[in-house]
Structure 1
Amino acid sequence: MSDKNTSSPEGIGVSLVDGDPSVRRARQLMLRAERYEVRSYATCAALLADPRSRDYPCIILDLEMEEVDGMDLLRKMRASGWRGRALLLDGLNPGNPLLREAERHGDTVLSRNVGGQTLLTAVAASVDRSWAGWNAVG
């Protein structure tokens, strides 16, 4: 018998924010192929405006979009009751204050050009950490 967790991601939601429609669609299809429920958004404002976005334990956020303050978005999401984890896609240098703040909240910063398998692994790890006690209401 294996101790490995083989639970399916089916029914686990991921919010995806990316201003590039082709990248957003490709990632959405990849996540859906792995049986995640995916809600995709072209802007941070669209994510914040959707009350259902608080029901998903993981946000994938491209920080290289114009006029994006990813940490401000996450602060607003957390202030509205969201208790999940974020995968922040950027090309940050080590020592950047964003990295420290992200780590403090259990978020992960990855390269914007992260490969599909690496992104899927990061999503699964973020959900494993946050899903056990997940309750969208708080």
Structure 2
Amino acid sequence: MTSSPSASESRTSILLVEDDPAIRRSLQLHLRARHLDVRAFGACRPALADGAAGEAAVLVSEYRLPDGDGLGLLTALRAKAWRGAAILLTAETTRDLEDAARSAGYARVLRKPLIEAALGDLVERLLKEQRQV
């Protein structure tokens, strides 16, 4: 007889860092509806201090945060040996920011306002790519 994984074991973890509480909650609910566990924070420091952050498969981060930015956040996670995929959210897309984001290791830069379904589809695609590696 095989045992099935618990709900928390069978769900993939997403680290969401967004300073706008309404956007954070909306994205959190949308991703949870796709059967993803979401650890959500409003700033870099609490996200980095969370012991479970290193277990996340995907980082979804706002570019401008109250205590830093998404580029620094990803750099700090990489310094802790985190190797997941990352998506940067921003209302101010420029070529320089997109280049800096890619150099930092972001897979994509998504412009706000977001279409939640597009973010969810991208997260699922990145997870699928990770499973194939």
**TM category, shorter:** 0.7 to 0.9
Correspondence for 1:21 = 21
TM-score w.r.t. structure 2 length? Answer: 0.82
1:12-46 deviation per Cα after TM superposition (whole angstroms, max 9, x unaligned): 11111111112111111111111001111111111
Structure 2 unaligned runs (5+)? 1-9
Q: Percent of aligned positions with the same letter in both sequences? A: 28
SS in 1 for 2:68: coil
Higher strand share: 2
1:53 offset after TM fit, Å? Answer: 0.5
Moved over 4 A (4+): none
CA RMSD, 1 decimal: 1.8
Correspondence for 1:38 = 38
* Alpha-carbon distance between aligned partners in 2 of 1:77 and 1:55, rounded to the nearest angstrom: 11
Structure 1 unaligned runs (5+)? 1-9, 134-138
| Matching of residues 1-138 of structure 1 within 5 Å | 11-96=11-96, 98-104=97-103, 105-133=105-133
* Alpha-carbon distance between aligned partners in 1 of 2:52 and 2:13, rounded to the nearest angstrom: 10
* Alpha-carbon distance between aligned partners in 1 of 2:127 and 2:74, rounded to the nearest angstrom: 16
The answer to whether the Cα contact below 8 Å between 1:57 and 1:131 also exists between their aligned partners in 2 is no
* Alpha-carbon distance between aligned partners in 2 of 1:22 and 1:78, rounded to the nearest angstrom: 28
1:106 offset after TM fit, Å? Answer: 4.8
Aligned AA (2:84):
G
The answer to whether the Cα contact below 8 Å between 1:11 and 1:37 also exists between their aligned partners in 2 is yes
The answer to whether the Cα contact below 8 Å between 2:43 and 2:66 also exists between their aligned partners in 1 is no
Going from structure 1 to structure 2, the CA distance change for 1:45 and 1:35 (only over 3 Å counts) comes to same
Higher helix share: 2
Aligned AA (2:28):
Q
1:59-104 deviation per Cα after TM superposition (whole angstroms, max 9, x unaligned): 11111333432111111100101101111101344421x3123334
TM-score w.r.t. structure 1 length? Answer: 0.79
Aligned AA (1:35):
H
